[in-house]
Amino acid sequence: SSGINAEYGVASDSSIFVYDTRSLGEVYEVYKGKHEEEINQLAPDEKGQYLLSCDDNGEVMCFDVKKRGEVVSRYTVHDNICATVQWVPSRTAEVVSGGMDCKIHHRDLYRQKP
C-beta contacts of 11-19 below 8 A and 24+ residues apart: 12/38, 14/38, 14/39, 14/55, 16/42, 16/51, 16/53, 16/63, 16/69, 18/65, 18/69
pLDDT, greater one: 6 or 64:
64
> What pLDDT is attached to residue 95?
96
| Per-residue model confidence as pLDDT tens digits over 67-95 | 888 999 999 999 999 999 999 998 888 99
| Per-residue model confidence as pLDDT tens digits over 1-46 | 446 677 777 766 788 888 877 776 678 788 888 999 999 999 999 8
Q: Which of 50, 46, 8, 51 is nearest to 30 (CA)?
A: 8
Provide the β-strand partners of residue 26. Answer: 20
CA distances to 3, 72, 74 from 66, in Å: 8, 11, 17
Residue 100 has pLDDT above 60, yes or no: yes
